[in-house]
Structure 1
Amino acid sequence: MNTKQLQYFLATAEQRSITAAAKKLDIAQPAISLQLANLEHELKVKLFERDFRGMTLTETGIKFEKHAKKILMQIQIAKSDVTQSENECLGKVVVGLSQSVCNVLSMELLNEIEHRYENIELTFRVGPSYIVDNWLSENKIDIALCYDDSEFLDSKANVIELIREDLFLYISEKPQNPAYSELKLYSAIPFVDLQNYEIFMPDKQDALSKLLVQTADDSGIKLKTKDAFGQMMTTLHFVTQGLGLVVCPSSSTFHLEQSKHIRGIKIVAPRLQQKVHLIKAEQIESNSAVDAIFELIREVTASVHGKNDWRGTLLDKKYYLPQVIDIETFVEG
């Protein structure tokens, strides 16, 4: 049973004719006939008496008419309630995040806001992890996406563990340096083997840089590094041209992987991951717009993870949907 069947049923009951109901609803007559037949088959009852005078409701049909009206009324009330609630969300929301996270979330977030929250203005402040922390402490942003070493993880702020992202060694599909050629054959590489290659490294204060240095120290090796460019996309441009290697999450590179400009090699022994947290600024007490964006980030994260654009372990399961092969089995289950 669906709302379309209920609408067609009520229109036919009112007009006492499928032809008249079709004209009122401005749809084809066979469509109404099919939906009414499906409805009677599902309910296993006869809803209409059909004769030369038209269509009249049976006693069962009269009872069902009352329920159909109530159902459609409740649906309309629910729609109005939700629409009103979302329309009440208004104002400016500032989100601080890294370049890689912005790369994977920004377009999805803006598209969803356009359809759901037309009165919310979303602004991104993009910078290294330690700068995002500074913005949060200085109350310059409403929401932050931070990493493991953030000073705010033990605070009273609203913190959610979002995802533990996998880190990969990225190489061009057409490396210019002969030393990189053998890497084209690798699907995975032990962390200690990274010492054999020169790698672009972000600012020493950045969470990713700290993780790489700490893991190298724990593994008893020293990485050969060169300074990355200020902008992530500039560094990635050099990598796609076959002029260097970089370690970063798939959130930075998924679009380049899809276009076959770059390829990720999984880092193992140990598996290299960093945890991303979603944090609401402490000064935010009750703000419907901030709350809406906070929830939307959780939802969009689950979506891009499900599409394999942001790879790793999804920690926030609120909006997680398992991959379904048999949709009918999933719906019935």
Structure 2
Amino acid sequence: MNTKQLQYFLVTANKGSITASARALDVAQPAISLQIANLEHELKVKLFERDFRGVQLTESGQKFKQHAELIMQQISLAKQDISGNKETIKGKVTLAVDQAIGNILSVDLFQELEHRFPEIDLQLRIGPSHTIEQWMSEKTTDIGITFERHNGHYLSNSIALIKEDLYLVMAQVPKNPIHAELAHYASLPVEELQHYELFMSETEDSLSQILQREAQQLNFTLKRKNAFGQLMTTLHYVSQGFGLVVLPSSAVFHLIDSNQIRCLPLIQPQLQREVCISATNGKYNVAAANAVTELIREICANKYMAQQWRGELLDQKYYRADLKQINAIGSPGAC
């Protein structure tokens, strides 16, 4: 098995045709067919079903495709590390995130790119979770920050970053007398949410789905109030004392640091949202996309260690326990 075989296999799998793969690679069709045949012989499995329309992956082919993509990613990263020429990495990368993740990642990410990879042109696309998944399915973005790991083929390259804790966010001094009683709580059972009207995003969004799922399991109905289109507008309204909203710390860490809001951990059960970074299939061999992905993983760990992104860190690659302990000294236990 060699990298040429893996490359030919992956391009053919993504194109769905040896003819199309030959055009994309500028290689003769018989050469591609031979390399794939040799690969199948070595693996002792059939990777493609062939008919007049082209080729389709078998079940074994689909499993092998995930491994082949990871191998090619690691080879690309190994070349970068050994060569020491990271500053020469260039290209355009499109990253899709929702507003909360954009809030915690974007400033650090653009600063680090300017410092480490000045020739990478990062384009940020902001949208709700279901729109991000659609963009990835349509292959109109290179990388996406998604929520929960899915079985969809376009999320096969996902890395789970963090399970972020969800909080009930409110003003330090609520204007609504009904909300004033919450000042006596250190945390809030999820079932208690039924007594309060909540700003909520559209029903397809991941946060709304998590809340709706828990409400159904606990047999109560949420009092829903449509959120403003922009997260910062909703947060401004809430911070002025005129409403409540459920959000992760990624959306509000800057307001926590400036003491503009108060947030209560949601318990019984503890509410969390799993955050994943996913590469769109077919983008596996782009050095610039790999560099952006690694920076995001590093920033996620840094934000977690700084107590700004709260929850359970799932991606341990850049985690330093000693640094987290130092940052925790003198930090408040709740936001």
TM-score by length of structure 2 reads: 0.71
Q: Which amino acid aligns with 2:114?
A: E
- Matches of 2:148 and 2:288, distance apart in 1: 26
- Matches of 2:82 and 2:115, distance apart in 1: 14
Q: 1:242 to 1:110 in 2, by over 3 A?
A: same
Aligned to 1:16: none
Q: Which runs of 4+ in 1 moved over 6 A?
A: 80-83
Aligned to 2:10: none
SS of the residue aligned with 2:130? helix
- Matches of 1:326 and 1:164, distance apart in 2: 22
- Matches of 2:190 and 2:172, distance apart in 1: 21
Q: Which amino acid aligns with 2:94?
A: V
Aligned to 1:290: 289
Which of structures 1 and 2 has the bigger CA Rg?
1
- Matches of 1:279 and 1:111, distance apart in 2: 22
Give 1:176 deviation, angstroms: 0.4
Give 1:185 deviation, angstroms: 2.0
Q: 1:201 to 1:150 in 2, by over 3 A?
A: farther
Aligned to 1:271: 270
Q: Within 5 Å, which residues of 2 pair with 1:202-213?
A: 202-213=201-212
Contact 1:199 1:226 in 2 (8 A): yes
Q: Within 5 Å, which residues of 2 pair with 1:38-117?
A: 84-117=84-117
SS of the residue aligned with 2:85? helix
Give 1:157 deviation, angstroms: 3.0
Contact 1:130 1:150 in 2 (8 A): no
Aligned to 2:60: none
Give 1:88 deviation, angstroms: 2.4
Q: Which amino acid aligns with 2:254?
A: H
Correspondence 1:247 to 2:246: yes
Q: 1:119 to 1:199 in 2, by over 3 A?
A: same
Q: Within 5 Å, which residues of 2 pair with 1:192-207?
A: 192-207=191-206
Q: 1:260 to 1:284 in 2, by over 3 A?
A: same
Contact 2:199 2:244 in 1 (8 A): yes
Query: CA offsets, 1:26-45, max 9 Å, x none?
Result: xxxxxxxxxxxxxxxxxxxx
- Matches of 1:160 and 1:104, distance apart in 2: 18
Contact 1:94 1:122 in 2 (8 A): yes
Aligned to 2:261: 262
Gaps of 5+ in 1: 1-79, 328-333
Aligned to 1:121: 121
Contact 1:165 1:310 in 2 (8 A): yes
Give 1:150 deviation, angstroms: 4.8
| Superposed CA RMSD | 2.0
Give 1:84 deviation, angstroms: 4.9
- Matches of 1:175 and 1:185, distance apart in 2: 13
TM-score by length of structure 1 reads: 0.71
Q: Which amino acid aligns with 1:236?
A: L
Among all aligned residue pairs of Structure 1 and Structure 2, give the percentage whose two residues are the same amino acid.
Answer: 40
Q: How many residues were matched structurally?
A: 247
Gaps of 5+ in 2: 1-79, 328-335
Give 1:156 deviation, angstroms: 6.3
Aligned to 1:38: none
Aligned to 1:135: 135
Aligned to 2:333: none
- Matches of 1:183 and 1:138, distance apart in 2: 44
Q: Within 5 Å, which residues of 2 pair with 1:3-14?
A: none
